Amino acid sequence: MLFIVFKAGNASFAMEASKVIEVVPLVTLRTCPGVPAYIVGLANYRGIGVPVVDLGRLVGGAPCAVYLSTRIILTPYAGSGDKQRVIGLLAETVTNTVEREESDFSQDNVAVPGSNCLGKLAVNGTGFIQRVVVAHLVPKEFEHLLFTEPEKSVS
C-alpha cells in the first residue's frame, strides 16, 4: 500500500495515498474567527472553501513551520451520517511516499486524550512513523463546525 509521508514538529506521519485528492502548495488562508486553533483557515480549492487543519497544532501543540516543503494535503472527510466534505491537512516536509504493508503498522502508541486521529506506529529506520486516521481527524465536539451552513444575513 502506498503512503504519503510528512512531518509535524519532530514526528513523522503517514497517510494512505488512496485517501488523498491532491497535495497543493501552502497558500494564503482566510482566517475563521472563533474556531479551535488547529483549524488555521479556509483555502480556496477550485472555488470551494476548504477548512485547513494544522496537524502540528492538532497532535503536537506547536503549529507547523512554514518551509518550502510545507503543503496542504486535500482529503475527503466523512462526518456523522452521510455528510462529506473536502478538508486540508497542513503538514511539513510533504516530499516522500513509501510502500508499507497494513501489518507494518502494528506498534501501539501511548493513549493520549485528543490524539484519536493517530493510528498505530510502524518502525522507520531508527524511529517511528505514525499513521493518520482521516476518519478521526477532527474531534467530534468540533465536527459540527465543518458541516454547519453559515447563517444568512438579513438585508
- Please, which pLDDT band fits residue 153 given cuts at 50, 70 and 90? very low
Host domain of residue 74? 2-140
Residue 61 lies in a domain: yes
Judge contact between 122 and 131, C-beta under 8 A. Answer: yes
Residue 77 lies in a domain: yes
The candidate with the shortest Cα–Cα distance to 7, out of 52, 69, 75, 98, is: 69
Residue 153 lies in a domain: no
List the CATH number of the domain containing 9: 2.40.50.180
Flag whether pLDDT at 26 surpasses 70: yes
Residue 91 lies in a domain: yes
pLDDT tens for 62-86 read 899 899 999 999 999 887 677 788 9
Residue 60 lies in a domain: yes
Residue 127 lies in a domain: yes
Predicted TM-score (pTM) of the model is: 0.84
Q: How many domains does the chain have?
A: 1
| % pLDDT > 70, the chain | 85
